[in-house]
A = this chain, B = another copy of it.
Amino acid sequence: MGEQALDGIKILDLTRILAGPYSTMILADMGADVIKIERPETGDDSRQFGPYVNEESAYFMSLNRNKRSITMNLKSEESVEVFLKMVKEADIVIENFRPGTMEKLGIGYERLKEINPRIIYAASSGFGHTGPYKERPAYDAVVQAMGGVMSITGEKGGAPIKFGTSIADITAGLYTTIGILSALQYRNRTGKGQKVDIAMLDTQVSLLENAIARYYASGDIPKPLGNRHPSIIPFEDFETLDGSIMISAGNDSLWKKLCNALNLEDLKEDKRFKTNPLRGENYEELRPLLSEVFKSKDTEDWINILNSYGIPNGPINNIEDIVNDPQIQAREMIVDVEHPKAGNMKMPGVPIKMSETQGSVRSPAPILGEHTESILKEFGLSEEKIEQMRANKSI
């Protein structure tokens, strides 16, 4: 194991389920020491989420590799005292409770900052720590609905559709990570910590991309467009003999190459289709001409033909296809991890490839409380104190 980018960074991780754990997974992959603080007995809610492998949650295992687990009951004074002791030596505290929860526990940012002015405190929540909705509970689906992304996803003329995974949680996790690393850069320069406040809803606005520019420029409210590009043609999917294929003929030169690839040489000189705007105007005539040809061969044949012409294309892979794809295999984007109870687990690899400090999956997700004792000892607690805390159900 070589050096890693975030070696030496100690993170106290109070997060549960998805947005927070996704962020600390990335930080742990890059070498940070992530100490996951869980409720005694039950732990992170997602330990109860299926699917299960030998009674261990595959959901939990895939998000919590490379972390260590300690149980602490933060409603006990004794544990809060130990937590504050840990904060003195930590670089980062991260939580995704509803705003106000940390203050109720007596461990809000203002308190932690007094104890350690270098601490970086990151909070990820549904609506953020300010504004009229800050008290509202949120789940990914509600935030996707409110954030506008659903209103532009779906069949043309159809109803809004939710993204297939928890994109609002994941985006919040990515922005939380960027906020933490930026705060670290500031702290390296000045020695000062700070609070980072990420709202899932805010990050959805950041995903809207040109839909916002289109709305303000035209006044028209963008709608779902199916799998077609709003203005480039053809840039969409077609049925093949045995499945489907996505193609992107992004300019007139690629359009001509596509006509050659499809044996539709006549179309190159066809006045209806010579330019991209004309292909837009005459789309309803164009689409069936192309559709008919695509239906004549298997997807794999089309991939080979289109690649030989340099036309961007690809199959619409399902989950089985993509995890077995040769490029994904070559990039080590599916990795094997040995879990003491669940056995061999496969999960996504590290998508950040670095020449000097490649991140890696070094250890499986922890059993609940697996590292309670060793972590408490690292922070200077005696065996007697640890036993006493255990007797008090503080850990």
Give the B-binding residues of A (Cβ under 8 A): 3, 5-9, 18, 26, 30, 49-53, 58-59, 61-62, 109, 127-133, 136-139, 141-155, 158, 160-167, 170-171, 174-175, 177-179, 181-186, 188-190, 192, 194-199, 201-218, 221-222, 224-227, 229, 231, 235-237, 244-248, 250, 307, 310, 312-323, 325-328, 330-331, 333-334, 345-349, 351-357
Contact = CB atoms under 8 A, between A and B. Distances in A.
Contacts of A30: 182
B334 A151 contact: no
Kindly list the 8 A-B residue pairs having the minimum CB-CB distance in the complex, ordered from nearest: A152-B164, A131-B330, A145-B246, A181-B181, A51-B217, A58-B213, A194-B356, A153-B164
A6 B164 contact: no
Given A139-B248, A331-B202, A163 B178 contact: no
Contacts of A141: 227, 229, 235-236, 246, 248
22 contacts: A5-B182, A50-B217, A51-B217, A58-B210, A131-B326, A133-B327, A141-B236, A142-B246, A144-B246, A146-B314, A150-B227, A160-B237, A160-B244, A164-B211, A165-B208, A167-B167, A175-B351, A181-B184, A195-B355, A197-B353, A208-B348, A215-B320
Q: In the assembly, how many copies of this chain are there?
A: 2
Given A8-B189, A319-B222, A177 B179 contact: no
A143 B247 CA distance: 10
A221 B318 contact: yes
Contacts of A155: 155, 158, 161
A163 B213 CA distance: 17
Q: Which of A62, A144, A199, A310 counts the most chain B CB atoms within 10 A? A: A62
A59 B212 CA distance: 9
A303 B125 CA distance: 20
Contacts of A347: 212-213
A313 B142 contact: yes
B174 A178 contact: yes
B312 A203 contact: no
Contacts of A158: 155
Contacts of A174: 171, 174-175, 178
Contacts of A195: 354-355
Contact of A210 (B59, B199, B205): B59
A58 B161 contact: no
A188 to B, nearest CB: 5
A3 to B, nearest CB: 8
A152 B165 contact: yes
A348 B211 contact: no
A227 B162 contact: yes
Q: Which of A18, A49, A186, A331 counts the most chain B CB atoms within 10 A? A: A331
Contacts of A345: 216
B327 A194 contact: no
A327 to B, nearest CB: 4
Contact of A333 (B181, B202, B310): B202
A42 to B, nearest CB: 13
Given A141-B236, A323-B212, A206 B351 contact: yes
